[in-house]
Amino acid sequence: MELHRLEPQPALIAEGNLAPSGALDHPVAQGQGVVAGLYEARFHVGPWLRDSTGASGILDIVPFRFTIAAPEQLYHLPFKFTPWGFSLFRGS
């Protein structure tokens, strides 16, 4: 998984594997360095499926663009997927 800030000042701000709980073990997950702007999370679903289960599907890297207007709020991004599809939304 990669987290990119697209605006303002584009940058890769975090990357790593998600824990079984789905959380990214990185300070950005607690809000460190997060500012208002446009972001993109990139979930490497295809490689994970091939490496973890041997399955292949139609997905490779799934991008999710979202805007953070209030950095002090919690932004939980539930992501569910199968080899054939995915669902993303802002959670509570």
Name the pLDDT band for 4 (thresholds 50, 70, 90): very high
State the average pLDDT over residues 42-53: 90
For residue 49, count other CB atoms closer than 10 A to its CB.
18
For residue 65, count other CB atoms closer than 10 A to its CB.
11
Reading the block at residue 26, the tokens are 């990185």
Distance CA 66, CA 44 (A): 17
What values do phi and psi take at 70, rounded to 5? Answer: -130, 90
Task: Record the pTM.
Answer: 0.86
How many angstroms separate the first and last alpha carbons of the chain?
21
What kind of architecture, by CATH, is found in domain 2-88? Sandwich (2.60)
User: What are the domain boundaries of the chain?
Assistant: 2-88
Name the pLDDT band for 20 (thresholds 50, 70, 90): confident
Those residues with Cβ within 8 angstroms of residue 37's Cβ, 6 or more apart along the chain or in another chain: 5, 6, 7, 8, 67, 68
